Amino acid sequence: MIALLQRVSQASVHTEGELVAQIGQGLLLLWCAEAGDTEAVADKMLAKILKLRIFADPGGKMNLSVQDVAGGLLVVSQFTLAADVSGGNRPSFGAAAAPEVGLRLYDYFVQRAAQLHRPVQTGRFAADMQVSLVNDGPVTVPIRMTGPL
């Protein structure tokens, strides 16, 4: 499972000209399930994301989590994070989970996130989306989780 976290002061998702999600301060998560991923891997990743200390404390040190600052989560599915470009100029996406597995794990991840944190917003799985953000810092953190807990 791969996520690219971006600390944002605001972020939004539009699909077909319609605003489908937006947050203020928080994390934009570009999220991808890979072949072999499970709910246990999703739980492990979510726990890491919610506790990751990448927000500034009053002294300016990155010492607070998204939960500490009551920030939003905007979770956007993005299978292209699984791209393999080692074989040529056209990316291969063979490492990405099959769409039905990806959707199941995405729904699970979002549901668990909403149980553990508020607010949680989402893009639309497998849709053509336009994502806008103001990256705060900028702070961008890639995370890859694999295997059992």
The end-to-end CA distance of the chain, in Å, is 13
The catalytic residue among 6, 38, 67, 78 is: 78
Give the helix, strand, coil percentages of the chain, each rounded to 5.
Answer: 25, 40, 35
Task: Assess whether 78 carries a catalytic annotation.
Answer: yes
Burial of 59 (0-12, 13-18, 19+ CB in 10 A): exposed
The catalytic residue among 6, 10, 67, 80 is: 80
Do the Cβ atoms of 74 and 11 come closer than 8 Å? Answer: yes
Strand (E) or helix (H) holding 110: helix 99-116
Looking at this protein, which amino acid is placed at residue 22? Q
Task: Assess whether 79 carries a catalytic annotation.
Answer: yes
The catalytic residue among 6, 55, 79, 121 is: 79
Q: Which residues are designated catalytic?
A: 78-80
